[in-house]
Amino acid sequence: MNQSASIIEIRNVGYAVSGRPVFAGLDMDIPRGRITAVMGPSGTGKTTLLRLITGQVAADEGSIVVAGQELRDVRRTDLYVLRRRMGMLFQNGALLTDLSVFENVAFPLREHTDLPERLIRQLVLTKLQAVGLRGAAELMPAELSGGMSRRVALARAIVMDPEILIYDEPFVGLDPISLGVILRLIRRLNDALGITSIVVSHDVQEISTVADVLFLLSGGKVVARGTPQEIQSYPSEIVRQFIGGLADGPVPFHFPAADYFGELLSRENL
């Protein structure tokens, strides 16, 4: 069977929250088997995009096709099946604090399969070995460092051998050593398992070292797409402002508000 080069196809998607547009005419193609980074200023809807892709929320208009399935038409039972083909690494790891490292990683297998205990043990230890934490299998989450917690969460995300692995800000709060470890794991796991990785991140320099394709979101649309090298020289003021971390540019630092001095004076007269 011929497979599309894109595992996720987003066409003319519109989505608003409480009447405030988040996306307006969003178009994206996530290539199969590659590492795709999604970047953009705060409030541009990067995490919302992940919620749309996983079917947690529905687009107001447009089309989202994931692994050949149009999310607008998919039944709830089929959506659950589709989600089993995805792995998710949350910002804070989201480990279950009352379960050991081993049981955290085993949790998806126990919930979604009827595998015998012997096979569950082999799968869990294999994934923990892949992230370098097989020796920590009996530890509790409270005994882990931030970087270790993130690696355990990654082992849990890949234990079902997903086709799509989603990372939501995986580098937040990591020290340089842990950051380097996670970056290498993202690249190694993607290549070894042949999966598609989607990484939402603000860390331009770090994610550029492993990403195959970068998307920059702003104003509800994609304003730049390309390889890390192409993005660095992209002819756009928004791109230059974001890549350079500049306060002045098309993306305002201040949230829209009334005149500053006028508001101060009006409050003084209260």
Last residue of a domain, one of 124, 142, 161: 161
Does residue 91 fall inside a structural domain? no
* 182: containing domain: 6-85+162-268
Shared domain check, 149 and 65:
no
Q: Which amino acid is at 269?
A: N
Q: What per-residue confidence (pLDDT) applies to 116?
A: 93
Q: Are 85 and 163 in contact (CB under 8 A)?
A: yes
Residue 260 and residue 180 in one domain: yes
Instruction: Read off the CATH number of the domain in which 12 is found.
Output: 3.40.50.300
135 lies in the same domain as 257: no
Same domain, 79 and 178: yes
Name the least confident of 26-40, 45-59, 110-124, 234-248: 234-248
Beta strand residue intervals within 18-127, DSSP E: 20-31, 35-39, 61-66, 69-70, 86-89
Domain-terminating residue out of 161, 195, 214 = 161
Q: For residue 90, tell me if it sits in a domain.
A: no
229 and 189 both lie in a single domain: yes
Share of the chain above pLDDT 70, in %: 89
Q: pLDDT of 177-229, one tens digit each?
A: 778 888 888 888 888 888 899 998 877 788 888 899 999 988 888 888 888 88
Tell me if 12 sits within 8 A of 27, measured CB to CB.
yes
- Do 145 and 233 share a domain, yes or no? no
Residues 166 and 151 in one domain: no
Domain identity same for 226 and 182:
yes
Q: Report the number of distinct structural domains present in the chain.
A: 2
Do 196 and 151 belong to one domain? no
